[in-house]
A = this chain, B = another copy of it.
Amino acid sequence: MNSNRIEELVSVYRDGLFQDVLPFWLEHCVDREHGGFTFCLGRDGSVIDTDKGVWHQGRFTWLLSRLYNTVEKRPEWLAPAKHGIDFISKHCIDPADGRMWFHVTREGRPIRKRRYAFSEAFASIAYGEYARASANAGSAAKAQTLFDNFVAHRTAAGLALPKFTDTRPMKSFGVPMITIGVAQELRDSVGLPQADEWIDRSIEEIRRDFMKPDIPCVMETVGPNGEIIDHFDGRMLFPGHAIEGAWFILREAKQRGDEELVRMGCSMLDWMWQWGWDPEYGGLFYYRDVRDLPVQEYWHDMKFWWPHNEAIIATLLGYQLTGNEKYAQWHSMVHDWSYSHFPDRQCGEWFGYLHRDGSMSVDLKGNLWKGPFHLPRMQLFCWQILAEMRAAEGQGIGGKG
């Protein structure tokens, strides 16, 4: 990756964040009447459903606060972050049991709670980053409490509350994976004391139970002791999710200067790139079957925006940490495919849901799952990685990059 390409990419990511993605959401999603954010937006940013997804109340609040803390102390970022914190505090927590909702009405009345405590996970990083931005001790305490609730919601075996009977216990990669990502954020923002311990424990669980070098792959769902479950659910691989987990590990490797963790993250990326990349049409499949049998989810081969965001980060970070040209090539492949299919040149931001061949399925910009998170996080993190690479080059220590 030469310095011209680095400059070009810096401008794609940084300018995309500040001139396209962030303005798109700030213009369209802030609910000045009822508080919080309406993220269910059509192509042009019009609200197509006034309901509010709780995940993104936390995720957008985190993003705004993190920009304030790490890019520039702009009041126009802090004000909507406070707006998000206020809505979460007021409407997104069930007073009956302290658990968070998943989905509320525009006014903040509850619609649905889910088994997994991911609303808690994303709200905790919002409170944490907002605490750092506002020096608000109450927010820092809230971040800690929500993190505690998130990890307590796992049972001793690391399982979530069952949707199924206990005939066939299963656990998901998403739980240790998100634990790592959240603990990393809270370590940065509020110095979470248990961060390293939870990260170590989760990395160990992924290595022991989810990584299968003999296949090779990262499983998405296994038995309590890492058993492969030879049924539809158990066989389903989730390349985008595993690749997101891979860069959480690489980020930890970089922070700790731990070569063993570099190897672990790169293995996860290497394996799941092979499972995920579509050799025929390009882009990343959503699901695969580990025995190459038909996937139960009939939309398995669609191209969603967010696995591409995660793969763009993972390949760039892999390149930064190893200097292996393979990662620069993969980064180009996924970057180029993404930028030739997902951006909406007319109304801004990215489309989210394409057919296997890259044609459009739905042109909305947001719903309960799509909002200002994966894309702007990619833009922010990749810009920062590239800035580090440029600085290292400038100092003549860019041998690896």
Contacts and interface: CB of A to CB of B under 8 A. Distances in A.
A353 B356 CA distance: 14
Nearest to A304: B298
Nearest to A354: B298
A352 B296 CA distance: 11
A344 to B, nearest CB: 13
A362 B168 contact: no
Nearest to A163: B112
Contact of A165 (B112, B298, B300, B356): B112
Contacts of A231: 49-51
Given A293-B364, A298-B361, 16 more contacts: A48-B294, A49-B232, A50-B231, A51-B231, A51-B232, A105-B167, A111-B164, A111-B167, A111-B168, A112-B164, A294-B362, A298-B299, A298-B304, A298-B352, A298-B353, A355-B355
A362 B300 contact: yes
A110 B298 contact: no
A358 to B, nearest CB: 12
Interface residues of A, number: 40
A44 to B, nearest CB: 12
B296 A367 contact: yes
Contacts of A310: none
Contacts of A105: 167-168
Given A299-B361, A362-B300, A110 B294 contact: no
A22 interface: no
Interface in A301-330: 301-302, 304
Closest 6 CB pairs of A and B: A299-B299, A294-B364, A298-B353, A294-B362, A109-B167, A110-B165
A40 interface: yes
A228 interface: no
Contacts of A165: 110-113
A21 interface: no
Main secondary structure of the interface of A (DSSP, over half): loop
Interface centre among A51, A293, A304 (most CB of B within 10 A): A293
A232 B296 CA distance: 24
A304 B164 CA distance: 27
A363 interface: yes
Contact of A40 (B168, B232, B367): B232
A295 interface: yes
Contacts of A282: none
A42 B294 contact: yes
Nearest to A103: B164
Contacts of A363: 294
25 contacts: A40-B232, A42-B293, A42-B294, A43-B294, A48-B293, A105-B168, A110-B165, A110-B167, A111-B165, A111-B168, A112-B165, A232-B367, A232-B368, A293-B364, A294-B362, A294-B363, A295-B362, A298-B302, A298-B304, A298-B352, A298-B353, A298-B361, A300-B361, A301-B361, A355-B355
A111 B166 CA distance: 7
A40 to B, nearest CB: 7
Interface string A6-45: 0000000000000000000000000000000000101100
